[in-house]
Copies of this chain bind each other. A is one copy, B any other.
Amino acid sequence: MERFKRNERIAAMVKILSDNPNRLYSLNYFAQRLNAAKSTISEDIVIARNVFEELDLGRIETVPGAAGGVKYRSKISAAESLDFLKGIAKMLSDPGRIITGGFLYMADVISNPQVAYSAGRVLAGCFERNPVRYVVTVETKGIPIALMTARALGVPLVIARRDNRVTEGSAVNINFLSGSTGRIQTMSLSKRAMERGAEVLIIDDFMKAGGTARGMVDLMKEFDAKVAGIGVMITTTKPEEKLISNYIPLMFLEGVDEKSGKVRIKPNEKLFF
């Protein structure tokens, strides 16, 4: 097999690491795949790590020891996060997005792959210190952001359903009160979906009264899960009192005025200072 030059090895390593966030690769893996000595690979990693740090491209971490190696953490800088959220706020402030009833059309934005990717990285950064075994969401609109959060953290995604499906085997169902509509709704999750007693991160796209998030917390109790965190892309500032506490919103929706066509939405700047 051919020998690669240093910059070729680095290009390959950066690609493989950033395609697989939070996955630990042994130095042997790279030594074999790139046909180089482990000491050489170590030096390559130091170079890549430094430039990632310098240009705020994420973090390359080395884990010492026999079971050690190197992994990539999909870290997004405070400045880039804030820029991203300001861009989203601007997009969502378009009066053309206001729907009769004071709703805001945002399905196109939150299911956009690049938006979901960035949102997932920001959310993953908010909870990276918490041990997380699964990211959990409930269908439908939160799925893209939750998937990208799970990808950034390197853990599986679990999707609760609004109803019980025959194709999912026996399931746990719970009822919950939607704080916005005042109606009882159902949430269902296959018993096979996750191991009992795991740490979970709950992710959703939007929170108003917090009923859905509350429902997910209750559903997790049925799996003896420990809720390590709750993150939402956007929360309304009213009602101030939510059905849950201890959640992290990336943005605040302060109001949608149908008459004037004014949408007030802003990033949660506290996250970044």
**A141 contacts across to B, CB distance below 8 A:** 159
A169 within 8 A of B: yes
Contact A157 B51 (CB under 8 A): no
Give a binary string over A31-50; 1 marks a CB under 8 Å from any B CB, 0 the rest. 00100000000001001101
Closest Cβ–Cβ distance, residue A246 to chain B (whole Å): 25
A272 within 8 A of B: no
Q: How many copies does the complex hold?
A: 2
A67 within 8 A of B: no
Interchain residue pairs with CB less than 8 A apart (18): A5-B47, A7-B47, A10-B14, A12-B51, A15-B18, A15-B57, A99-B169, A103-B169, A105-B167, A107-B168, A108-B156, A111-B156, A112-B157, A113-B157, A114-B151, A139-B140, A143-B143, A144-B157
Q: Which residues of A contact B (CB under 8 A)?
A: 2, 4-8, 10-12, 14-16, 18-20, 33, 44, 47-48, 50-52, 54-55, 57-58, 99-101, 103-105, 107-108, 111-114, 116-117, 139-141, 143-144, 147-148, 150-151, 154-159, 161, 166-169, 190, 192-193
